[in-house]
Amino acid sequence: MPYRPQFSYPPPPEGWVEEEFEYYFDSITYPALAQVPSSQIVLPLQADAEFRIRAFQISGNTGNLLVRFWDALGNQLSQVPVINVLAYSGEPQGDVGRLPVPLNDELICPKGSSIRLDLEAL
């Protein structure tokens, strides 16, 4: 993932090692992603370590979708679903999924938690 944070993050606590890691979810391994509309699609995270989400990326030919993410604690990351083709600016973008969308603050996800996602057609 060609990801570059908007600013530097503090170093990890003493004794911790920070490693780059990517989760990949698709409609083959998670068939609910192919069903639109879908609410509260659960995307599980591994149970071996805390994970910090610093960016999201929606790739492929998704068309115009409304997307809302929920963090590992059940908090909505937006009040309303966001149009995926407006993820990079206020104007529709032709190549959705080219680049990750960085978050202002990283989302800390406990070991073995999950994030959730709502999908709606536009």
Q: In the structure, what pLDDT confidence band is assigned to residue 97 with cuts at 50, 70 and 90?
A: low
Q: What is the pLDDT of residues 50-88, one digit of tens each?
A: 999 988 887 766 667 888 999 999 999 888 888 877 655
Q: What is the pTM of this model?
A: 0.80
Q: Give pLDDT, residue 96.
A: 52
Q: Give pLDDT, residue 43.
A: 95
pLDDT over 90 percentage in the chain: 34
Q: What is the pLDDT of residues 10-54, one digit of tens each?
A: 888 899 888 888 899 988 999 998 888 989 999 999 999 999 998
Q: Give pLDDT, residue 112.
A: 95
- Contact at 8 Å (CB) between 71 and 52? no
- Contact at 8 Å (CB) between 43 and 112? no
Q: Other C-beta atoms within 10 Å of 115: how many? A: 23
Q: Give pLDDT, residue 83.
A: 80
> Structural domain boundaries of the chain?
47-121
- Contact at 8 Å (CB) between 63 and 106? no
